[in-house]
Structure 1
Amino acid sequence: MAVPPRPSAPQPAAHSDASATAVTAPGATKKRNRTRKDVTRDASLAAALIVAHNQARRIAATVRAARAIPGVDLVLVVDDGSTDNTQDLARKAGAVVVRHSHYRGRTVAMETGASVIAMRDDPAREPRAVLMLQGSLGNYAIGAAPLVQAVTEHVADLAIALTDTRRRSPGVAAKLARRAVEKTANWVPEQPLSRIRCMSREALEAAMPLARGAGLEVGMTLDVLQAGLTVTEVDCEIRHKPHTGADRSAASRATQYRDVMMAVSTRRVRAGLTSTRSAVGARLRRAPTEEN
């Protein structure tokens, strides 16, 4: 079987920001690492997870670019109910393809993809990192290479792409997400709603179940931070137009804000309950000592 050609342009940067400083939430206790202790760790790999809906024009280029990223040995496309030939073109370009018979949304599609990647992991090796890409990226997908480097070299558990289209994401939803992350980790991200990101399997499990709609990314970031894992932003040479509040209609911006608010509020309540439970547990453990 012929091997699909590799993209000729753009190429990954000669050096990356994989040495960027990673942050975690102050006082957060890292959850037990679920990775087996006897796994092979000498060659960390990554899987590219691409959610696509009616992306026949660009999906082949996106797949070929993802396959060219160093460290990526699996490209999985979740065809989310496309009515065109997205799945056929993705498969011909070298991707493993799973398909939803009807549109189910980005969150469900990503959960489907994450499950398939986990099933394809070798139990004797460290689980693959998961690189999340948009089907519309085309050749620009190769610009996400520094994210894979940051995670597979254990610089951070979650690496978020800073695209060069604009530095700081505008809009009230991005501002809300930025403020929520700052309160959690004393760190202000530039692009908190960036959809292009890479994360370790441990970080992905910490973020499950994923938040719905536009709250997916900030919910994921907050979950990873609250699990005691590390997050960083990495400069990537990606000039693909990102999804931001400035590009949306008023109704769409309202929906985006609602989704982000829901994700933030849910995690705030959850963190409060966890804190209360810990305080009560500590008090109960001290009670017998005080009685004696």
Structure 2
Amino acid sequence: MTADTAVVIAAKDEAERIGPTVTAALALPGVDLVVVVDDGSYDKTGKVARAAGARVVRHSRNRGKAAAMESGAEAVRLLDGDTPRHLLFLDADLGASAETAAALVEPVRAGKADLAIAMFANRVKLGGHGIVVRVARDGIRRATGFTATQPLNGQRCITRAAFEAARPLAHGFGVETGMTIDLLRKGYRVREV
């Protein structure tokens, strides 16, 4: 299988979990690069990620998830050859379960989606976050007509062209919602997997 996908992981103070996440990400089919953006950690997140095989970009202070995603994507762009890699964004605390992200890469690699968003099989009780999910879902639906099942899921695979079309990314908790709305409005294909 041709390596055409890079994993980008935004991480802050995840030294205990980042190693297994990087290891699982590097084992994904088609992945030849994992970039961890250490977003102002106080622990050894960057050192552990590097030891596990990731390239590490460090923010000297916490700049937030959107800035970390953009820094990671830029690092990948600088390492890309003639053909830009797809970008697979994963959370730092996934550990070995990052291996399930292979399902996100396939529709993007096959040209069936420009953005593939993970859907968790087992829904967890979200408490107050359930309200935020409903607001995000409703906002996406009203803006685009698309009803997202899990609008805030950070596990997503995206083509380079779609990522560039979504920039600049919304900051704060709106990064995933903003990305989805921006891409749908611009005619990109979004799929939940």
Q: Which TM-score bucket, shorter chain as reference?
A: over 0.9
Q: What do residues 253-289 of structure 1 show as CA deviations (whole Å, max 9, x unaligned)?
A: xxxxxxxxxxxxxxxxxxxxxxxxxxxxxxxxxxxxx
Rounded to whole Å, the distance in 1 between the matches of 2:124 and 2:47 is 36
User: SS at the partner of 2:118?
Assistant: strand
TM norm structure 2:
0.93
Matches within 5 A, 1:106-185: 106-123=65-82, 125=83, 127-166=84-123, 171-185=130-144
Matched AA of 1:76: V
Rounded to whole Å, the distance in 1 between the matches of 2:125 and 2:147 is 10
Residue-pair matches, total:
191
Give unmatched runs, 5+ long, in structure 1.
Answer: 1-41, 235-292
Q: Is the 8 A contact 1:168 1:191 kept in 2?
A: no
Rounded to whole Å, the distance in 2 between the matches of 1:128 and 1:227 is 21
- Say yes or no: does 1:223 pair with 2:182: yes
Identity, % of aligned positions:
47
Q: Is the 8 A contact 2:3 2:32 kept in 1?
A: no
- Say yes or no: does 1:208 pair with 2:161: no
After superposition, the Cα gap between the structure-2 partners of 1:129 and 1:168, relative to the gap in structure 1 and judged at 3 Å, is: farther
2:6 matched to which residue of 1?
Answer: 47
Q: CA RMSD in A?
A: 1.8
Selected match of 1:192 from 143, 151, 169: 151
Report the alpha carbon displacement of residue 193 of structure 1 after superposing the two structures with TM: 0.7
Rounded to whole Å, the distance in 1 between the matches of 2:180 and 2:43 is 33
User: SS at the partner of 2:6?
Assistant: strand
Report the alpha carbon displacement of residue 173 of structure 1 after superposing the two structures with TM: 2.0
Rounded to whole Å, the distance in 2 between the matches of 1:118 and 1:227 is 22
2:26 matched to which residue of 1?
Answer: 67
1:260 matched to which residue of 2?
Answer: none
1:281 matched to which residue of 2?
Answer: none
Give unmatched runs, 5+ long, in structure 2.
Answer: none
1:10 matched to which residue of 2?
Answer: none
User: SS at the partner of 2:177?
Assistant: helix
Report the alpha carbon displacement of residue 187 of structure 1 after superposing the two structures with TM: 2.6
Rounded to whole Å, the distance in 1 between the matches of 2:133 and 2:170 is 16
Q: Is the 8 A contact 1:49 1:132 kept in 2?
A: yes
Rounded to whole Å, the distance in 1 between the matches of 2:3 and 2:190 is 18
TM norm structure 1:
0.62
Q: Is the 8 A contact 2:86 2:158 kept in 1?
A: yes
